[in-house]
Amino acid sequence: MKNIAAILVVLALVGGVLYGTLGKDKETEQAQTTPAPTKASQQAAPVKTGNQPSTAAPAKPKAPSSTKAASEKKIGVREGNLAPDFTLDTLDGKTMRLSALRGKTVIVNLWATWCPPCRAEIPDMVAFYEEARKNNVEILAVNLTETESSVPNVRRFAEGMKMQFPILLDKKSKVADMYEATVIPTSFIIDEDGVIRKVVTGPMNQKTMRELIGKAK
């Protein structure tokens, strides 16, 4: 009987050792098979919902419009300057202001009836205007009226040359002085924002007018 009891005690001790060893092995196996969190998963932010405030950068402000940019330019009579504004009476009794033509490409042409190069240029300008007026182009023919013999003489000349574009009367050479005209004809090609794109001294032909207007648009 004592021998049986001793055997049972030995078996119990052996079983306990085996159980402990197996338990440790199982825990080791579980620890080895459970993956460690990756670096990326540790840094990932939670997905934002519509109720959470956005951390997106604000949209960049819109670039200034060309009109605003033009208004910030220096007023002057050089290429790249904002053309000086003026108001003059026309040959047909109206009043015209240069700045009222913003949105159109404009040729400001300083001329006189007694000027041979001006007289030579006008037929080309008349022919050019017939097509250009349909494409948002205007011509302001600023006559140096102070140098003319009379306004009726200017009218007869304009009618004879069939000048359909506005003829402005610079009776006191206000615009001639403002635009520093020392020779005529002198033309200023002005874009839709009122900026001088080209200054031409001397007569132009139709081809030159088309090219300069095309570049100014």
Indicate the pTM of the whole model: 0.69
Q: Residues 126-159, buried b or exposed e (16+ Cβ, 10 A)?
A: bebbeebeeeebbbbbbbbbeebeeeeebeebbe
Q: How far is CA 24 from the centre of its chain?
A: 76
> For 142-153, what is the mean pLDDT?
98
Least confident of 24-33, 100-109, 139-148, 197-206: 24-33
Answer with the residue of higher pLDDT: 47 or 176: 176
Q: How confident is the model at residue 13 (pLDDT cuts 50, 70, 90)?
A: very low
Instruction: List domains and CATH numbers for the chain.
Output: 70-216 (3.40.30.10)
* Mean pLDDT in residue range 44-64: 40
Q: Is the pLDDT of residue 147 over 80?
A: yes
User: Are the C-beta atoms of residues 122 and 161 closer than 8 Å to each other?
Assistant: yes
pLDDT grade for 70, boundaries at 50, 70 and 90: low
Tokens representing residue 122 in the block: 């006008």
Q: Note the pLDDT of residue 41.
A: 35
- Predicted pLDDT of residue 72: 78
